[in-house]
Amino acid sequence: MLLRQFALATVLATAPLMFTSAGVRAQSAGDEPRYITGTIDCRVAIRPYESTVCSNGVLAAMDLQMQTLYQVVQQLVQPQVAAQLAAGQQAFFRVREACADDATCIGQSYASRIQEIDAVLQELIARGPY
């Protein structure tokens, strides 16, 4: 239980800092900017949605936010909720891939998924005790 309390406190304390960044750039001389993301290896991005996320700071930041939030919440919930979150994550990946290189579509899919995961976190917070 102490681990859950610590994880929840860490998320709440660092969320504003993590989720307002515009992504972290990784760039070699002569290369176009590539961002570090949570679910895509931008060094080998070949699918249209991967290239779009890896070259867009806002989308890269959303990817980091979503993946960080997902990983933390997965550790805090009961196994059946964790399974539902995992299924939702797989569904998100399919939706994101279907967006191809449409940055607006990708951004909307991230916003929706972040909202879904955050709703689970808010339910945990409201339910307490920690």
Domain total in the chain: 1
pLDDT > 90 fraction of the chain, expressed in percent and rounded:
65
Give the pair of three-digit tokens for residue 20.
């307002």
Instruction: Categorize the per-residue pLDDT at 36 as very low, low, confident or very high, splitting at 50, 70 and 90.
Output: confident
DSSP states along the chain = -HHHHHHHHHHHHHHHHHTTS--EEE--TTSPPEEE-SS--GGG--SHHHHHHHT-HHHHHHHHHHHHHHHHHHHHS-HHHHHHHHHHHHHHHHHHHHTTT-HHHHHHHHHHHHHHHHHHHHHHHHH---
- pLDDT of 73-101, one tens digit each? 999 999 999 999 999 999 999 999 999 99
Residue type (1 letter), 27: Q
Beta-bridge mates of residue 24: 36
Residue span of the structural domain in which 10 resides: 2-127
pTM: 0.76
Give the pair of three-digit tokens for residue 18.
């993590």
Higher pLDDT, 34 or 3: 34
